[in-house]
């Protein structure tokens, strides 16, 4: 049965999934890129950039598994764009250039209507204005029996967790103290929501924890 999953969501030792001051110059917040140094070091990441080299091993395996059985992605408005409010300028098509790395339908949660944006490589950004459940229904339909990945950010993940709709959450805990930003588990009781840690392994750059909803 297809599931809604979060794969390889990086958080700091003090629990932040993004730094403070997110914007055009800092899409992940101030020092937010430090959360993803473990990703940039892998061979899988270099291959995606068309480059050679990179580390193999545990972190590389998690990056490669992150795309397995994924047929669609859901993300929040903030993950797609630094623009707030109505789409006054529709030139913005995401952070990822003309060929985004998704290569399948992506559903962006927003309060403001916008026509879909087809991109190179099979990615189409669709904008959903009628809530998280409607977005999930459309994503499952588009995924054709495969899993749906929830990309983030923090607020979006929290909404799906509180609604009991997120089946699995995989986080990479990196040895960085951000000191501010958005905490992934802020005002959340994961145990009460039915989540259990079923896997915990570590490389030299990140500890990978996999939480599954049991009820």
Contact call for residues 109 and 135 (beta carbons, < 8 A): yes
∠ CA 159-162-167 to the nearest 5 degrees? 90
Asked if residue 164 belongs to a domain, the reply is yes
**Domain contains 200:** yes
Report the CATH number that the domain containing residue 198 is assigned in CATH. 3.40.430.10
Range of the domain at 176: 4-84+92-210
Rg (CA), the chain: 17
For the chain, the domain total comes to 1
What pLDDT score was predicted for residue 23? 84
> What is the pLDDT at residue 182?
93
Is the link from the previous residue into 153 a cis peptide, with omega within 30 of 0?
yes
pTM of the model: 0.95
Token digits for 130? 């009628």
pLDDT of residue 90: 84
Q: What is the mean pLDDT of each run of 10 residues along the chain (215 residues)?
A: 97 96 88 96 92 95 96 96 87 93 97 96 98 98 98 95 97 97 92 94 97 90
Q: What is the DSSP letter of 55?
A: B
Domain assignment of residue 167, yes or no: yes
Residue 71, classed as helix, strand or coil, is: strand
- Classify residue 20: in a domain, yes or no: yes
Going by their DSSP bridges, the two strands 207-213 and 168-174 should be labelled as antiparallel
Assigned domain for 185 exists: yes
DSSP secondary structure letters along 4-49: EEEEEEEEETT-EEE-SS-SSS-TT-TTGGGGGHHHHTBHHHHHHT
* Residue 215 maps to a domain: no
For residue 59, tell me if it sits in a domain. yes
């Amino acid at each position: 049965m297809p599931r809604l999953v979060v794969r390889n969501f990086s958080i700091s030792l003090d629990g932040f999934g993004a730094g403070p001051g997110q914007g055009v110059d800092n899409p992940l917040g101030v020092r937010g890129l430090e959360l993803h140094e473990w990703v940039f070091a892998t061979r899988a990441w270099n291959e995606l950039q068309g480059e050679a080299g990179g580390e193999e091993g545990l972190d590389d395996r998690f990056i490669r598994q992150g795309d397995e059985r994924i047929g669609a992605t859901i993300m929040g408005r903030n993950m797609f764009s630094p623009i707030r409010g109505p789409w006054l300028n529709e030139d913005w098509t995401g952070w990822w250039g003309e060929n985004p790395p998704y290569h399948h339908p992506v559903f962006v949660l927003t309060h403001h209507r916008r026509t879909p944006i087809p991109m190179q490589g099979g990615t189409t950004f669709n904008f959903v204005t009628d809530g998280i459940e409607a977005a999930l229904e459309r994503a499952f339909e588009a995924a054709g029996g495969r899993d749906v990945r929830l990309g983030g950010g923090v607020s979006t993940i929290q909404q799906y967790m509180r609604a009991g709709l997120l089946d699995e959450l995989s986080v990479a805990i990196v040895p960085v103290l951000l000191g501010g930003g958005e905490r992934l588990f802020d005002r959340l009781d994961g145990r009460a929501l039915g989540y259990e840690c079923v896997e915990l392994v570590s490389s030299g750059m990140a500890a990978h924890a996999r939480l599954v909803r049991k009820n």
